[in-house]
Structure 1
């Protein structure tokens, strides 16, 4: 909801100055102050806190260990409480945090969320410097800094590990750098029980016994509300990579890199030293001599906790074409406001290639959604040349505008009768900028049946948590088309290769080996170029033979695999020490999915997630890291003003995706009409300040009169009938 009075109280003013002038006023430890951003907060002009981030990334094989250092600076002469909204990879296991200020280094403690929040609030009231890390979604966090004093920077170091997935034959490391806007959906008349305040910026509404997490307030946006003279290049990178096999390729399609080293070890930095944090950093690499590898296992033993393993499985290398049968392809296109510009163009490029490559015995449907869902045709059509041409004409006329009512679109995708003897494949194109992920994931879980769902993220900072969750529920895969000059080529390649699974009905015969607490009890299908990782625990070390089973185009397939599990007396390589943490994070991720989809009312699951977080020192939705200084930083804490670190506008995302400069509320609707006009007005405030109040009053009067707030714009039995293949699989 748009609140006129709130906009007036938080009105932005530009003050653009040269970096030398700014440095003359007060020290600039970040060295990046080419301009300032001033907001009216609680009746006074306040410069918003500045930020500098550094990523130290160490990749060993397919495990990445990352230290993210966030330095906050207060450019005012008054103390600040700063809040920074930022993303992490949805599978990142945050296992440690420190706060550094004036030579002190304070190690953060992991506590239950409410306890951590209480500790932080007390430190805040006492005038101590403090930092609190809160998880709002698996990929969305806030860092709160209490008593950030003028000219005295505070640095927070976050340490996390993650496994690196294999995508289309290469390893892909994704480091998200900015949270895009989130559309919360149309308001529903629900009766709320008493809100349960969980932390300073995260609240949970209790609706009929369901706990529904609210999103944090979206902060101000630099490119929308300030001059381009402000230097936003505030992110740096140091990356090192080592592998047991030669590194045959290392590249990034999102950022230019300076790469050095040899085939056994490489280093990389950003080519320009520092970059703007307005899009995700994606690194891809290949390891040589892997063509015959289809399964392998790593293990690690801790005396206190026992053994942990990671089993990696790849599908048989059979021609994918042989697995394709008759298909019904249901294309679901996001045409909301945030898809304006390059994202909608990339979606159209994808659709042109996808439609042109339909086979004559395919059926297809096209749905587009924003505030509402509409269809090209109500039922699926055979892919005749006439129907394909009509579909192309329909796609060419689509435009971006409105909200992101995604759940209704998914229901429509499953709402028609499926043509006989076909496999239904739902192809979903979106940036995923919505807030209520739980409802959407639940819809797919309930409706998927025997269908598949492929999610294509379009843009530079896509909501990967949502898209990969949808793909997992839909037994499909997720791919990403960046909002850059090469999107046409990428989109066309993906569209021409709408794969069907190579290996289905995957299961593991442990052959008497006692394993427990597996990361995935229901194993997904395997596609060409992908790999499946199964994590678990064991107590008995030694050599074993296990069998991986599945079906290839309906035929039974089996692979025997010799494995060796480490024991307590064996030497452990350093990179394997991350296995217990990654295992615990996978357990948390799976339990969190079950908790959310089940209605967030399972207290036993909540307690299990909390215990895993505390036992393994991991950030979760129910645990938080908190650090508090020993000495006072602020002798007058009541004079402190709260402000958010501004975010850059996401690369390729239109201005209209941001609501009223996001100065109020926790939702992020995508404005059209009147709201879009107000953004333009505020963007020109330096020139039209004198007229702004009267213009807003006029609009307020219009809203009052009309009620209109927006315009929608070893034990292998060889007697069985299997044939041994060179890649280790036995097919019948």
Structure 2
């Protein structure tokens, strides 16, 4: 048994030894290994003996031959005015080789950012990008690349993950691209903040596991939970191999902050900053020096007095009024216990949580368990490649049970892949006993690629449960974390450092233990017709912001936002005539509309025809407002060819940094095969197993696993042969052909992080 498996077994065993029974873990997959460096073919290749200076070399198809990776540096300039932030991201692509190259760089942005501008600078010239349908933009870019023209293409892979491709960078040449976006901000828990993600954390992408056989029809088919896995698996540079003193993917940040009130506190818990104050209510913030793009940048500020709890901005476009309403729930008094709760803690212990993240998670989970009241009930679900539970069913929060749980939590270690789906499915299944309020608290970094599958599951299984997410680590998947909490009608917090655990978890507990404002409804003035997003409005927790976008031919008068706080009615009046004019509001509305339509696509009730209709609406909105989306891209092309005819072009992805705090020893393997596996025998040593029939009889939901894929595959093939034989015999007997049902064969491929 390897040391890695031994440590994981101990962590699971610490939980299971305290349990009276367990639910069987489900669906094995490969542990989380980092993406290996993507091979890049080049017209002129180097051997390691040719390398004289420290540089990252990418393997090629020819054994023993390499090409230097393109280099990228980033400069971010941001202007924050009130509740709107406008940022320009300048990326400098440097070609360190003597050949012509194409650089491909994956980079993150805030999940609600509206990306609308692309400029490519060549010498003293700027070339403006255009928004096109995604396939059309790709064809324009590929044609320009083939013709030797410099070109840039910005594509959205996820709402918070983009790729920038730059073609035909000459030997030793530098090409500069600028991408601009804007986002809305709102105070949360009494302070304002802007979070700028700087690194794309490697993600675990579950492998295709379901194969369907339909006789005389389509043959074999594969269901892939991450159909675009090749788009979201950029190579990762191993920090242990970096030359001393070298900074990979450096970033500079400058922010001009004008919040509209005097600033009392200003801090960055993530980076060292410098602050200049040119005048009252204004500050200029910068990083103290270039920093590696290995963690999110976070800036927080607060005023010296009571800031307005609501803001309203407007912009007219194409004869339509667009409005953005920002409202922060007022303090509703001290937190007081709600009715008895059933709390299910779901803890990620996968490889991406190794290092500092698992320390934060252990401390946060222990704090959460200790805060339970005697009348509450709880359970703990831990997962990596598989999942296990603390007890078959939630247990009372007695001192004995809490002490046992704390002991188990302190033994947790992080290893393996990130099979979230079965664990979350288990947590969302079942109903609470009596009149308990059921809450699921999900602690993870969200480093998965099958976000759509996870969000669809929440839509399907949530019921009356409330889902709260805790983003752990230096580079959490903020898109998944925030959308999961939104769909789960809960709230989310981020913990980026051990020093923040107590503060951030206390903020979350305050929300969980305070009655939310539910059944929110925005009543518009009589005679006013407008689209309201999101729809329906989410529950509103104390200290949480609410953002509402509106569009209509004419919006004026007084609107009323109402809801219920427990059994008491609650409302606030909003004078729409007092909206301040602000450029960019229409684009922020469009971004929210696209997000709303994308969420509808994940609904289990939407069929293929409905998805096609929603896609048309998404495309029309993105083109009409000039935004990058899943279906649109920005492309910029120089009209003059620069690469000489007959000269080859090498293509290489720019390797990303490993996020700060991630343990390279646990996460990076020399080859995917080096990642240890957790087989069925290992699973049986970790947790006592029950048969599926016994588990179902006990009322425990049992997601169908893939641990016996070889037997299932052989059975499927046998059934296929039997079916074909039966078909031949029946035809020979001139008997009417019977209807043959599809046979589903489950197979588990090896996934990789």
Whether TM exceeds 0.5 here: the answer is yes
Q: Which moved more, 1:346-355 or 1:491-500?
A: 491-500
SS of equivalent residue, structure 1 residue 352 = helix
**3-state SS of 1:222 partner:** coil
Q: Distance in 1 between matches of 2:99 and 2:354?
A: 40
CA distance in 1, matches of 2:666, 2:469: 21
1:274 paired with 2:290, answer yes
Change (3 A) 1:209 1:485: closer
Could you tell me which residue of structure 1 aligns to residue 575 of structure 2? Answer: 562
Out of 622-631 and 305-314, give the one that drifted further: 305-314
> 1:37-436 alignment to 2 at 5 Å?
37-43=56-62, 44-190=65-211, 212-216=227-231, 218-224=233-239, 226-229=241-244, 230-232=246-248, 234-261=250-277, 262-271=279-288, 273-290=289-306, 293-302=308-317, 304-322=318-336, 324-436=338-450
Cα distance in 2, alignment partners of residues 395 and 14 from structure 1: 46
Distance 1:603 1:10, change over 3 A: closer
Structure 1 residues 536 and 336, CA gap change in structure 2 (3 angstroms): same
Deviations along 1:321-352, one digit per CA (max 9) or x if unpaired, are 34622111110000111111211111110121
Cα distance, 1:535 vs. partner?
A: 0.6
Structure 1 unaligned segments of length 5 or more: list them: 23-34, 194-204, 567-571, 675-706, 714-732
Give the whole-Å Cα distance in 2 for the aligned partners of 1:87 and 1:501. 35
Residue 135 of structure 2 aligns to a residue whose secondary structure is helix
Which residue is equivalent to 1:448? Answer: 462
Query: Hey, what's the Cα distance between the residues in 1 that align with 2:50 and 2:385?
Result: 38
Pairs within 5 Å for 1:5-16:
none
Change (3 A) 1:249 1:515: farther
8 Å CA contact 1:312, 1:532 repeated in 2: yes
Give 1:521 deviation, angstroms: 1.3
3-state SS, counterpart of residue 167 of structure 1: coil
Identify if the C-alpha distance between structure 1 residues 637 and 297 changes in structure 2 by more than 3 Å, giving closer, same or farther. Answer: farther
- Measured after TM superposition, the shift of residue 249 of structure 1 is 2.3
| Structure 1 counterpart SS, 2:577 | strand
- Whether 1:649 and 2:654 are equivalent positions in the alignment is no
Q: How many angstroms apart in 2 are the aligned matches of 1:181 and 1:618?
A: 26
Partner of 1:587 in structure 2?
593
Q: How many angstroms does 1:189 deviate by?
A: 3.2
Tell me if the contact between 1:116 and 1:624 (Cα under 8 Å) persists in the aligned partners: yes
1:98-125 alpha-carbon deviations (Å, 9 max, x no partner)? 1111222110111000100000110111
Partner SS, residue 548 of structure 1: strand
In the alignment, which of 601, 608, 613 is matched to residue 604 of structure 1? 613
Please say if residues 323 and 553 of structure 1, whose CA atoms lie closer than 8 Å, have aligned partners that are also in contact: no
What TM-score does the superposition give when structure 1 sets the normalisation length?
A: 0.81
Tell me if structure 2 keeps the 8 A contact 1:656–1:671.
no
Q: Distance in 1 between matches of 2:293 and 2:607?
A: 35
Given the alignment, which residue of 628, 632, 636 partners 1:627?
636
Q: Note the alpha carbon deviations across 1:496-537, whole angstroms, 9 max, x for none.
A: 544444311111111315242222111111111111111111
Question: Would the aligned equivalents of 2:238 and 2:668 in 1 still touch at CA under 8 Å?
Answer: no
Contact 2:40 2:59 in 1 (8 A): yes
Report if aligned partners of 1:181, 1:657 keep a CA contact under 8 Å in 2: no
**Distance in 1 (alpha carbons) for counterparts of 2:230 and 2:608:** 16
- Work out whether residues 95 and 171 of structure 2, in 8 Å CA contact, stay in contact via their aligned partners in 1: yes
Displacement of 1:90: 0.8
Asked whether the 8 Å contact 2:74–2:90 carries over to 1, the reply is yes
Looking at structure 2, the residues matched to 508 and 641 of structure 1 have their Cα atoms a distance apart, in angstroms, of: 55
655, 672, 688: which one aligns with 2:676: 672
Question: How much has 1:454 moved relative to structure 2?
Answer: 0.6
SS at match of 2:290: strand
Structure 2 residues not aligned, in runs of 5+: 1-29, 215-219, 679-746
The verdict on how the C-alpha distance between 1:492 and 1:414 changes in structure 2, with shifts beyond 3 A counting, is: closer
- CA separation of 1:562 and 1:329: change in aligned 2, threshold 3 A: same
Map Cα deviations across residues 154-194 of structure 1 (whole Å, 9 max, x no partner).
Answer: 1110010000132212112111111001111143133699x
The alignment partner of 2:438 has SS state of strand
| CA spacing shift, 1:387–1:211, aligned 2, 3 Å | closer
Which residue is 1:692 aligned to? Answer: none
Segment of structure 1 superposing worse, 394-403 or 241-250: 241-250
Q: Is the 8 A contact 1:170 1:285 kept in 2?
A: yes
- Size of the alignment, in residue pairs? 637
Give me the whole-angstrom Cα distance separating, in 1, the residues matched to 2:66 and 2:473.
35
Paired residue secondary structure (2:576): strand
SS of 2:526's equivalent in the other structure is coil
Structure 2: distance between partners of 1:192 and 1:125 = 41
Q: Deviations over 1:200-239 (max 9, x none)?
A: xxxxx99689994444152332234632423226100111
1:513–1:644 CA distance, 2 compared to 1 (3 A): same
Q: Displacement, 1:541? A: 5.2
Q: CA deviation at 1:654?
A: 2.3
Give CA-to-partner distance per residue, 1:427-468, whole Å, 9 cap, x none: 000011111111111111111111111100110000010011
The 1:503–1:375 alpha-carbon spacing in structure 2 relative to 1, beyond 3 Å, is same
Number of the residue aligned with 1:695: none
Equivalent position of 1:547 in the other structure: 560
Call closer, same or farther: CA 1:485–1:399 in 2, change over 3 Å.
closer
Q: Once superposed, what is the RMSD of the aligned Cα atoms?
A: 3.2
TM-score by length of structure 2 reads 0.79
Using the TM superposition, give the Cα deviation of residue 81 of structure 1 relative to its aligned residue in structure 2, in angstroms.
1.1
Q: For each residue in 1:32-71, what CA deviation from the matched residue of structure 2 results, as whole angstroms up to 9, or x when unmatched?
A: xxx3111232434211000110000000011000000001
Contact 1:13–1:37 (CA<8 Å) still a contact in 2? Answer: no
**Matched residues in 2 for 1:711 and 1:673: separation?**
11
State whether residues 40 and 650 of structure 2, in contact with CA within 8 Å, keep that contact through their aligned partners in structure 1: no
Q: Higher mean Cα deviation, 245-254 or 182-191? A: 182-191
